[in-house]
Amino acid sequence: MVIPGDDATLKQALEDVNTPNLLLVLATITGDDHWLSEEYAPAPIEAPEGSLFPDDSGGYPDEQRARIRDAAALIIGEVRDGKRSTGNKPDLARFHRMLRFSTAEDIELETAEMLMEETRFKDRDTQWLPELQSAVRDGSAADCHIVIVGAGMSGLGTAAKLKQAGISFTILEKNDAVGGTWYENRYPDCGVDTPNHFYSYSFHRNPAWSGYFSKRDELYAYFEQCADEFGVRDHIQLNCNVTEMRFDESDMSWQVFFKDGSGNPRTLRANAVVSAVGQLNRPAVPDIPGLETFQGRMWHSARWQNEDLSGKRVGVIGTGCSCVQLLPKTAAEAGHTFVFQRTPHWVAPARDYYKPVESGLIWALKHIPYYAEFHRARMILVFGDRSWPAVVTDPDWQDQSVSVNEANHAMREVLTEFIKEGLGSKQSYVPHCVPNFPVWGKRLIVDNGWYETLARDDVSLISDGIDHITETGIVTKDGQHHALDILILATGFQSNQLLSPMSVKGLGGQDLAAFWGDAANAFKGTTVPGFPNLYCLYGPNTNIVHGGSIIYQIECQIHYVMQCLTVIAGGSKRALDVRTEVNEAYNDEVQALSAKLAWGHPSVESWYKNQAGQVVNNSPFSLQKFWAVTHDLDLSDYRLLGPGAND
């Protein structure tokens, strides 16, 4: 790493960095544990009220902080000037010690192991890469071809790894661009709810995020850039809609049927298929009587139309995350906005949601050795599993009707106060805005001015329930007609029928949609018995509610899939079929755990659940646990089909 600039630039950058992290940098460069001694012990991390960002500055007196920075300027300056080496990256034991020191928390060793990989202090790819590369080198993988369906974050991430291994692959993407959800969603203020230094590939960090919570255009640009920098552009076929996949037992391969950009039917043969289609890409159009008769302009939030809203009477149906994000800008532009709410959601205060990344931090992420690694680790610790204890039901908790444990209830009270405060003069809305389900029953929505917007004079919250839609507006259950020029459907996605509408036929022609019904399930959220060599990324029970980045979950899955590919890429027409009893035992545990979590609470009705109330979409595990669950392939979980079959 070449460190540019002069002393002044370095000192300026150090103004913006986190002091406990800076101490870890100094300890790593110098190898001197004095920087991790009691003298520099930071204060515990605390969450100031109303802030998404905990105060993790270390709480040092100004004078001590200045001394640490001066020492850092000197030491890093010496590295820059070639007078000192960058030292050695920490091993697990030292990294574990560093994390415990810098957070003043009792971090578990397994968490440090996970973070060694997330920071790439340890390269987890060594678990599968040498084997695949050697199969490529000796020619045994020459006939192996993988088809990835979807060029969003899951598809691109998988492609990066296949490219690295030298395995042949094709990505079929239905859209005319990569990026998946970040390509499709363009509604006003569309953005992420996890800081980007965490919400990005561990193997492709971006030091230049402009905000902690980036907006859609920047995220889309990141994935476009990934497609180029991973070198996978030539493998992507855009405008290709996969309609059917059939497993062919004669040579243990999949036939993938799709329509190309001209609508012509085409077929590809693949040793394995990676479904990277996401859970949230098919807009749900509500089944409300009269919807089709509406004569004004109407669109779904995920199919945004850039129309002039000024002076218009705009209706929005739905109050989930998409609506919360799009409302402030929509209401600011429209003449009057009517929000039709069926169920209120919990919204978390986020004073610093629009905080730009400090220029010094960007510089440090680019140029200070190890800073980016320690920054990512800290972001994951702060924005990952911190809320987990508050989502697990305490069987002894007395008020189980609206909360699951004491911490969960305390959060309910904080958020209820936040609602009252935000609604200002419209206190009559308060009873309509307090959800009757536990906090984290649904993913907490990060506030971007939701209650303040509802409190505007030109915004009306309508909670009476929709009876029907007319040519000119919406009639609510109280008989009132609300005249509208424009109707926005922020009504979410068809999420329970995973992989739909593709027809997927496995062993013996078994149909995946019929096998699943409305209770999709998979081993580790990834493999399905009877559908060998089919891998579902962001599959059943992998979505996260309590916090964290879905890219993290997907990387865990990709790591697991790459290990599976070491078995089947060797050109011997082999297939891995997860054992039925293994899948059933896994999913029994998934359901038993889910029932004890906030989102499994009986009061929660959401897109996570099927008709029977089973949680289909969400992971029942903390991020840490999902990492452990997916980390190592155990071949005894699978039947090996083809040459060398073991069953």
Residues found near ligand NAP in the complex (CB under 6 A): 191-193, 280, 286, 288, 301, 317-323, 325, 342-343, 443, 466, 490-493, 607
Structure tokens at 86: 């960058």
CB of 509 to ligand NAP, least distance (A): 34
Distance CA 159, CA 642 (A): 26
Query: Least Å distance between CB 383 and ligand NAP?
Result: 12
Specify the residue, 301 or 408, whose C-beta has the smaller distance to ligand NAP.
301
Q: How far is the CB of 302 from ligand NAP (least distance, A)?
A: 7
- C-beta of 595: minimal distance to ligand NAP in Å? 20
Nearest residue (CB) to ligand NAP, 121 versus 599: 599
Other beta carbons within 10 angstroms of residue 298's beta carbon come to 18
Collapsing DSSP to helix, strand or coil, 79 comes out as helix
Instruction: Give min distance, CB of 406 to ligand NAP, in A.
Output: 26
Between residues 59 and 286, which has the closer beta carbon with respect to ligand NAP? 286
Question: Hey, is 103 helix, strand or coil?
Answer: helix
Closest distance of CB 527 from ligand NAP, Å? 24
Smaller CB distance to ligand NAP: residue 125 or 193?
193
Structure-token pair, residue 240: 């290709």
Alpha carbon distance 302, 477 (integer Å): 27
| Beta carbon nearer to ligand NAP, 323 or 512 | 323
Sign of the alpha-carbon torsion through 566, 567, 569, 572:
positive
Alpha-carbon span 486 to 160, nearest angstrom: 42
Nearer to ligand NAP, 369 or 492 (CB): 492
Residue 197 neighbours by CB under 8 Å, 6+ apart: 205, 209, 212, 365, 375, 376, 379
Which of 446, 500, 445 has its CA nearest to residue 279?
A: 500
Q: Which 3 state secondary structure label does DSSP give 212?
A: coil
Using a 10 angstrom Cβ sphere, with 0-12 exposed, 13-18 middle and 19 or more buried, the burial of residue 372 is buried
- Report DSSP state, residue 483: E
CA pair distance 522, 540, nearest whole angstrom = 6
- Residues 298 and 473: their CA atoms lie apart, in Å, by 11
Residue closer to ligand NAP (CB basis): 266 or 303: 303
What is the nearest approach in angstroms of ligand NAP to the Cβ of residue 430?
Answer: 18
Half-sphere exposure of 605 (CA within 13 A, CB side): 6
* CA 638/CA 561 separation, integer angstroms: 13
Chain centre distance of CA 576: 28
Rounded least distance, CB 151 to ligand NAP, Å = 19
Q: What are phi and psi of 441, to 5 degrees?
A: -60, -30
User: Which CB atom, from 271 or from 617, has the smaller least distance to ligand NAP?
Assistant: 617
The minimum distance between CB 18 and ligand NAP, in angstroms, equals 24
H/E segment holding residue 182: helix 181-184
- Residue 199 phi/psi, 5-degree rounding, is -85, 75
Return the number of the residue (18 or 196) whose C-beta is nearest ligand NAP. 196
Minimal distance, residue 471 CB to ligand NAP, in Å = 19
β-strands 534-536, 503-505: how paired?
A: unpaired
Cβ proximity to ligand NAP, 280 vs 486, nearer residue: 280
